[in-house]
Structure 1
């Protein structure tokens, strides 16, 4: 009898121990750790099974950021970092505060400001803890922008084109049927376009990102402004909820919600990208609406929108020579990346990555180069005809007569209005006795 009681007591004790052990087990779990280095900062993302409970503090001598994840189990192995990493030298574990917690230590190579926040599940990701480490030099271009807030009047200066490769890092953009990330399409096209621009005398390219890392929408336009860009072009690859749509399109800013189904889809996708990359950007956008409303009253916004539309028309005319078009005219939508009031901007959707045939095409170097060529020719042609003051293009235009090849639907009156001259001046410069023109005819455009 006594032995039976002892056995029962031991069994109850064992069950209680098991229950206590299971209750004490960590509820959350680190499923993965991803590191996204950029020239100015580093982002470390912890993929978690549940919403994180965390705290953190900094240590000196040596510099370290310590993060405590409450009630969270470890990932078996933390990722190693490349030797050339500029901010984080090493990721490692340390003694945690409690048995079921995890302490992660980031060994830093230099002083950095941590910005840490949790992100709710969205798109391909579950709960995440995001750690952004910003170096003391917040911008590669800060030194130049501080030296002169206004553009210096340098004769024969280059025309600066800011090229924005959409998405990046934590934000993959749209994902094609075979798993192609939009961010891996936009960056090669942007780099090809930059090389073409840099080879052209009188033009200079500036990329908003040069590698696979996330940049907030506000930062993209801020970088263009810091480099005193004359024009801003954002490169994307389209997507839709069905695989049938295909073709390239060019988008300009609309102050109202887009009318088309695809336009609304793209506007929603931009908000989704902000959530993937970091919630702080959404909050900032709301605060910036007051600034935007005031800026819209300024003449610069009107000029920027007109310039953007004119260049967009040029890009559409060139793109149709190398790829199928989704829309034959520039489309309008309320994209945050186009809202800079002082820089003319366009957004080029190079094709539908959600279409299996176009996804395959967009991955090829040949097609990427043709798309870059089309965008380059359009921007170059616009600035040859409308060069900003004090640029090399302006000097060349003043010293060299402008040539125009007549296209379908053009007349002397149409060309006179476009170039700011008169029909009689056009006829005199080209020794014309009649008002009739033929397609392919090359005309000399007199100075206005």
Structure 2
């Protein structure tokens, strides 16, 4: 009986090893960007891994327990200048694989696994932070008129000097005409006309790109409009409407942002929908095994994101009010808070602009004048441009240009070494950028601050 039990146990162990050893590398993809090179190992099942680095020459060594080393790595397409070769080495044991990534220079590795997400299966992702970042040719570049250098890596989008994306929402549409003026003017037609004019202005600006929630006379639910903006990874949503009242006297434009009460309720709705956590956490959601930790992290990120979006909305709203004042009278002299569904995206700054009262005969007449609609669109465009020139989103062309065009006016007590420390650059780089032959600077001198 003991022999039978031992035999069964041994068979279980052997079978377990055989099953565990079924993992294998299905393929390798290499995608370089400006400062990071990503290697993606497509795996047959969830990978286990450990790794270490070696010098002379520089190498990253990855040990994969219970993994076959039969896949040919010599056919791996080498992209970029950081990775020299991907090959196998002698594994720890016959059931494991050891992969060596030969490097041309020092790089800081970061490894993590990713669960299946169509069209990909299990993956081991290796991000190598380059010690000598430089411009690289990229595998997939968008056809944007502004050449935003959008690089597709492993099914997700990495961006380098990308466009600022403005989502433009023309209110109402289709079977919903919106408000109707005394002369029969439909709000949906006015808003679409202004939206198209604003779209043209945004697309004509280098470093900006517009997307429309609707481009014709059809209906989209107000709750769906923020989703369109999110799918297109918009940095801002501008919803355009025309006001109305039961009496003809009210007139003037106004700007609206999300109310704090509605913001709090939206936070709760997002937290209760666990499938939306990955929209906020990105790849991190796939590697967090503790669901309570995931909710805590999601709540923290969501709160910070909502705070940022609402602050941005208020700042931009004030600029839109300033610009509208030059085109039309104002019904409200500062941004107002409301519970509009179109403003509820927690991760996208959003404003709603009422361009005037269509119920006012004179304003209805103005809104039917193409030149007037163009001036309204220009007011929104100017405000948007002013805001993003001051605070460009990370990773955008405008952010890169602002970083490269930094200046500093020397104050009493400041020196080159102090400024170099403050901006995390070398004194020699600071001197070279300003054609300085000595370490002496004078009060009031304006220095160019080179990018790090």
With the length of structure 1 as denominator, give the TM-score of the two structures.
Answer: 0.50
Return the TM-score normalized by structure 2.
Answer: 0.49
